[in-house]
Amino acid sequence: MWMVQILEDGELVVFLVSGRLERKQLAELQRALELRALSRNTALDLKDVKLVDREAVRFLAQRERGGAQLRNCPAYIREWITKENEGK
């Protein structure tokens, strides 16, 4: 199970993601990012993410390379993103 809450603060949109973030949720999260973050800064708060798969890590790495902030990123996810980026 997963959930995303969206907080808007002027030019910043924060997506609070919780639970499991896996391939099957990425299309929905991408749509939410596209709809809510038009020409605004975005942040994904990952404090309550419990589990990710490889596709989710790639997705997060791409968002970060595109300028999104990854807030409260668990250490194991950060390490995996770093390894993913080293392979690019």
Instruction: Write b or e for each residue in 48-58: b if 16 or more Cβ atoms lie within 10 A of its Cβ, otherwise e.
Output: ebeebeeebbb
Q: What is the pTM of this model?
A: 0.91
- pLDDT greater than 80 at residue 49: yes
CB 11 within 8 A of CB 40: yes
- The domains found in the chain, sorted by start residue, are 2-86 (3.30.750.24)
What is the per-residue pLDDT across 3-47, written as a single tens digit (0 to 9) for each? 999 998 888 999 999 999 999 999 999 999 888 876 679 999 999
**pLDDT value at 72 more than 90:** yes
